[in-house]
Chain A
Amino acid sequence: MAVCIAVIAKENYPLYIRSVSPQNELKFHYTVHTSLDVVEEKISAVGKSLGDQREFYLGLLYPTEDYKVYGYVTNSKVKFVIVVDSANTSLRDNEIRSMFRKLHNSFTDVMCNPFHTPGSPIQSKAFDEIVSGMMSQSA
């Protein structure tokens, strides 16, 4: 259902961005970039108390007219951003969460690959497949 899925590294550069349609790609890139601010804000707000495990799922970062942006951050400050079409109102929070979980899992698998250097763009086919699976639904 996602229109665009992005994986952003700790240093806030993209490891992986994929959009459904190539035309709007630039727009989505921009959207994801601006959503990083919101992500940072949410991270810094929560992580005050020690031992309080920060929630991974950040929820709706911000909605616009056309789409909604959801965020998810891992323990290692790797961020996942999903942009969803607003018209698609059938998506519930749980589904978004499950999408993030899937992303996280496949991201972990990519990291497990010794041939993959963390911080380098993700070129895993398995990861691509999963992302496509999530995106193709939205057509």
Chain B
Amino acid sequence: MESLTLSDVEQKYYSDLFVYCDTDNTKKVASYGRVLDLFRAAQLPSEVVIQITELCGATRLGHFGRSQFYIALKLIAIAQSGLPLRVESLNSVKDLPLPRFVVGKNEAETRHVALYQDPDSQGLYPASAAALIPRPPGRGHQNKKVPTSASAHPVHEAVQPTAPSIETQQAEPTSPVVSPHQSPPTSPPSWRKHKRQHSGGNADRQPVVAPAGVVWTQFREKQTAPVAGDGLWASQSPPLPGQESWVSFTADTPPSSTVPGAHPSSVQESTTIRTPMGPAATSTTNEIQRQSSGYDDPWKITDEQRQYYINQFKTIQPDLTGFIPGSAAKEFFTKSKLPILELSHIWELSDFDKDGALTLDEFCAAFHLVVARKNGYDLPEKLPESLMPKLIDLDDSAEVPESTPDVGFSGSPTEVTPNKSPSMPSLTQAWPEMNQSNEDTAIVHPVPIRMTPSKIHMQEMELKRTGSDHNHPTSPILAKPEVSEEVKLSVPATMKFVPANAAGDGYSSSDSFTSDQEPVERQRSQSGASPEALKVVAPPPPPPRPHPSHSRSSSLDMNRNFAAASAPGQPQPAAIAFPPAVPPRPLPTQSSVPHTGQRAEADGATGAGAALTTTSPQQIPQQPNFADFSHFQAFAASEQPSSLPEVDKHSDPGQGDKSSEGAGPLRTVKSDGQADERTPITVNSTKGSSGPLAPPPKPIRRRLKSEDELRPEDEQHVPQKPNIIAAALAAQPSIPRSVGKDKKAIQASIRRNKETNTVLARLNSELQQQLKDLLEERISLEVQLEQLRPFSHL
């Protein structure tokens, strides 16, 4: 036998045919009978067939080996093209069309065809009815019906209306012309999948399907071509059963490496929608058909398929780790022309985490299902395992995703977390454990993607019931790094809450819980809402709760800050306890009492003096240093009252003497007064301090203490005014210390300083007034003295 060189296309075709003929399944020998049938289908005169058989050497061998078979096929092609049969022509003839085999050769076949046609008949009828004449390209199913109807026609005349059959026959010759250009083998592999579903009955079907299958293939090609060309995804469910036979066929079909020529210009319709998709689709579908490998798993996605899906994913969403929103996915898959109901079901199957968006895995699964459906596979009830999306993020990837219908509410906290693993094993059992675990974890909020209002509600309810326990189990989960966007969004939110609530009690935790819920819910709903404007179940009322918690936490923080700030700071208390001058104001009222008690004459000056005295008395009990001040104060105080009566009675010479003596007795009085005044004043001061002035003395005390720290004791004798001023001044240096610590403290100290300033200014003015008065008195006294002197000389 001459060596035979076959083109790729021919190679594929022939191998498919060989497998088809290989009823004994020996993969080497084609059964004689089948082959003959095939040859007869070639519509060649029987002599030609015999000649071919002889030429290929089968007669010699008694059976058809692969090579013989191929040669025979080639010869058939030659014969069909009208060339004389010669062995030499095997290799010499170039551009030989593929051998054509026409259906309808024998009754047996047609009977079988009719058999399997019955389930298709429903599809057939409408198809054929609708098909009408010009098979619109892309109506693949119509095409395929055509041959079958043609085959069935001889047997069941009623099966097909004659008109279409006529057309069919007319069309038939044309279609085979077109299709063989494409590689047949591409179709059979697609049905490999189908084989699983239609187990058994293959043997019976095969003969039937064979002829139909052959044509099928051709039409399939044609279909794929228009499919490719048009990007139309005509549903082809009925033909599928017929493809069964091809399944076994493809066992040793060498996968065609490429099908570049698969979508030739036989595009009969201009592609409108999916031009870019078209060629890709063809290649894809071809690839899929070719490579739906594995008898073990019909739903497995091959690498090429996956690559294609990934590319398609990229066109929608460049980020491979991102999501495709539901609306975009809807548009994309709507182009597949599948009914919405089926698309809806596909979505249900593939959107594993039920978030309204597709990840890469989900998208691949959905795409795969769409392709399968377009090829006629029924959609599974549950997502096949091979299509299940990998759990990308979580540690829960260990958990096999099971679609738990009961998205456990009680267990919702844990179930929530994994974005991609919608199914956590029902957490109701785990719930009690979670309650006991992690008592000291901060409140965390489940960041459930699937937070529905009911869940939140339920959780809230449970929360209120069980207190903070609820929160604890969630904390470890939340602590896990999560990829989901909702989680990402909520984690920062919850993390904020965590420290704040760490110190919180159950109530605060519950508050944060709800508040966490709400941002999570909102986030989830946002993510859901963007793809899905349709999402009716709205997020829960977005309360400004985070703010209160924020404020709470912030307040806590602030408190902590304050506490921290104040801890190192005595200056702070000093700064806080700053205003020394404030107390003097109320003092006059109090100190005026003892003074009125002491001296009958009480007036404003007394009050002023008393003010002075009272300030010092306050200091007296606290600071021994200031006891000396009180000396001067008492002196000043006593001086004034004494001077006042003198002024009042200046006209009285006795008083003048008194006044002259007043200095002496004043001193003594002063000392006595001091003692006297001190005690009552101290009493008063204590009273005063115990009174409403209680707070001020404390700051004053502190201030004094700080002053003590600041100034040595040699300042004891500084009069009160300078003392006050000094105290104010002394306190001021403490301010710079606090400045660095706290702005608020600074401002407070500034305020106090200002108050001090005003008070001091007032004091100053009063004292100045007193000074004036005193000076006047002195002058008057001196005048009197002068007047009296001449008398004394006498």
A interface list, Cβ under 8 A from B? 10, 51, 53, 55-57, 74-76, 78, 97-98, 100-102, 104-109, 111-118, 123-126, 129-130, 133
Given contacts A125-B381, A129-B405, contact A104 B537 (CB under 8 A): yes
List, in ascending order, chain B residues with CB within 8 A of A112's CB. 326, 351, 354-356, 528, 532, 535
A-B contact pairs, 14 of them (CB 8 A): A74-B453, A104-B452, A104-B454, A105-B454, A108-B450, A108-B537, A111-B532, A111-B536, A112-B528, A113-B347, A125-B381, A129-B405, A130-B405, A133-B405
Whether, in the assembled complex, B63 has its beta carbon less than 8 Å from a beta carbon of chain A, the answer is: no
List, in ascending order, chain A residues with CB within 8 A of B453's CB. 56, 74-75, 104
Interface string of B306-340 (1 = CB under 8 A from A): 00000000000000000000110110010000001
B534 adjacent to A76 (CB under 8 Å): no
A115 adjacent to B330 (CB under 8 Å): yes
B406 adjacent to A123 (CB under 8 Å): no
Whether, in the assembled complex, B656 has its beta carbon less than 8 Å from a beta carbon of chain A, the answer is: no
A113–B407 alpha-carbon span in the complex (Å): 17
List, in ascending order, chain A residues with CB within 8 A of B340's CB. 115
Given contacts A111-B536, A114-B534, contact A126 B541 (CB under 8 A): no
Partner pick for A118 among B405, B406, B536, CB 8 A cutoff: B536
Residues of B in contact, count (CB < 8 Å): 40
A105 adjacent to B407 (CB under 8 Å): yes
Nearest Cβ on chain A to B338's Cβ, whole angstroms: 10
Given contacts A112-B355, A114-B347, A116-B534, contact A105 B326 (CB under 8 A): no
A106–B345 alpha-carbon span in the complex (Å): 14
Interface string of B511-543 (1 = CB under 8 A from A): 000000000000000001001101111111101
Nearest Cβ on chain B to A75's Cβ, whole angstroms: 5
Nearest Cβ on chain A to B31's Cβ, whole angstroms: 45
A51–B599 alpha-carbon span in the complex (Å): 68
Partner pick for B326 among A57, A114, A133, CB 8 A cutoff: A114
B454 adjacent to A56 (CB under 8 Å): yes
List, in ascending order, chain B residues with CB within 8 A of A108's CB. 354, 450, 452, 535, 537
A100 adjacent to B454 (CB under 8 Å): yes
A98–B452 alpha-carbon span in the complex (Å): 13
A74–B539 alpha-carbon span in the complex (Å): 10
Given contacts A56-B457, A105-B454, contact A113 B326 (CB under 8 A): yes
A74 adjacent to B537 (CB under 8 Å): yes
A102–B412 alpha-carbon span in the complex (Å): 12
Nearest Cβ on chain A to B123's Cβ, whole angstroms: 23
**Chain B, residue nearest A110 (CB):** B348
A116–B531 alpha-carbon span in the complex (Å): 13
Partner pick for B344 among A105, A107, A115, CB 8 A cutoff: A115
Whether, in the assembled complex, B1 has its beta carbon less than 8 Å from a beta carbon of chain A, the answer is: no
Nearest Cβ on chain B to A124's Cβ, whole angstroms: 6
B344 adjacent to A124 (CB under 8 Å): yes
Whether, in the assembled complex, B595 has its beta carbon less than 8 Å from a beta carbon of chain A, the answer is: no
Whether, in the assembled complex, B158 has its beta carbon less than 8 Å from a beta carbon of chain A, the answer is: no
